[in-house]
Amino acid sequence: MYCLNRDNLVFLYYAMTQTIALIDDDRNILTSLSIALEKEGFKVQTYLDGESALIGLTRTPPDLAIVDIKMPKMDGEELLKKLRKKSSLPVIFLTSKDEEVDELLGLKLGADDFVKKSGGFSIKVLVERIRVQLRKKNISVDDSKNIITHGKLKLDPSQLECEWDGKQLPDKLTTTEFLIVQELAKRPGIIKERAQLMDIAYREDTDIEDRTIDSHVKRIRKKFKKIDSSFSAIETRYGSGYRWNVN
């Protein structure tokens, strides 16, 4: 358990009201993770495959989902594709592979974070990753009373809703993607270094690489281009970072 300082007491209070969905075809992993998360005060939903998870997550949405990539019936990647069509639910992928291709593909699909199972993994690390994602979600709601508009862009942080030229994005931005867009749009024309965007999007998680932000930005652009093929508001400043184009 955590030391009972002020920050952890606040987190434990939120945890008691929050639900984590676990999706994995390994019953041993489901059991061990369920016990660990329930000890931390979370409610837990468990699913053995992607098909049943999609039904359950739609009927009873949790606050965060932990999803294994390799599963029968519907794998984690396909499940995430379907979820991202209608939800910005924070998703942490579990993967048994070490290859970067899995991680990059997951980020392109809209995963918020990764934890590798190969060689065994630390439940404490996973719990901390969950904390990071839930804090992002809470912060974006708590900070989010003012509508942000710039040109065709309209952001409603209270609902994590994004409009472009009066239209909702067909694929909702994830919480991480929303925070990146929000940070860029708050100060149009100002270059934000990748390190700054990592601090905003991932808060306390320091184990994030530049390519992670690049992958998120590529996916953000793709989502905007679904309703505006000429979208170019996010400008890459090579060697520096990104900025919201003032033009």
Same domain? For 152 and 122 the reply is no
- Give a yes or no: residue 207 inside a domain: yes
pLDDT of residue 137: 64
* Domain CATH code at residue 108: 3.40.50.2300
CA angle 115, 119, 120 (to 5 degrees): 60
15 lies in the same domain as 113 = yes
In this prediction, residue 102 carries a pLDDT of: 59
Do residues 26 and 134 both lie within one domain?
A: yes
Residues 136 and 183 in one domain: no
pLDDT tier for residue 132 given thresholds of 50, 70 and 90: confident
Number of domains in the chain: 2
**Whether 86 and 173 share a structural domain:** no
The pLDDT of 138-150, averaged and rounded, is 60
pLDDT at 237: 83
Range of the domain at 85: 6-140
Q: What is the pLDDT of residue 231?
A: 94
pTM: 0.57
**Are 129 and 183 within one domain?**
no
- Asked if residue 171 and residue 54 are part of one domain, the reply reads no
3-class DSSP state for residue 5? Answer: coil
Q: pLDDT by residue (tens digit) across 170-227? A: 888 988 899 899 989 888 888 888 888 887 777 655 455 667 888 889 999 999 999 9
Mean pLDDT (the chain, rounded): 80
Q: Classify residue 45: in a domain, yes or no.
A: yes
Q: How far apart are CA 73 and CA 51, in angstroms?
A: 6
Model pLDDT, residue 104:
61
Give residue 14's pLDDT: 47
Residue 1: inside a domain, yes or no?
no
- Residue 118: closest CA among 49, 53, 70: 70
Residues 149, 60 within the same domain? no
Pair (35, 132) in one structural domain:
yes
Q: Is residue 60 part of a domain?
A: yes
Please state, as a whole number, how many other Cβ atoms lie within 10 Å of the Cβ of residue 83.
24
At which of 125, 140, 155 does a domain end? 140
Min mean pLDDT across 2-6, 31-35, 93-97, 121-125 is at: 2-6
pLDDT tens for residues 60-107? 999 999 999 888 889 888 998 888 877 878 899 887 755 554 566 666
Q: What is the CATH number of the domain that holds 185?
A: 1.10.10.10
HSE-up of residue 136 (Cα within 13 Å, Cβ side): 31
Nearest-angstrom CA–CA distance, 222 and 217 = 9
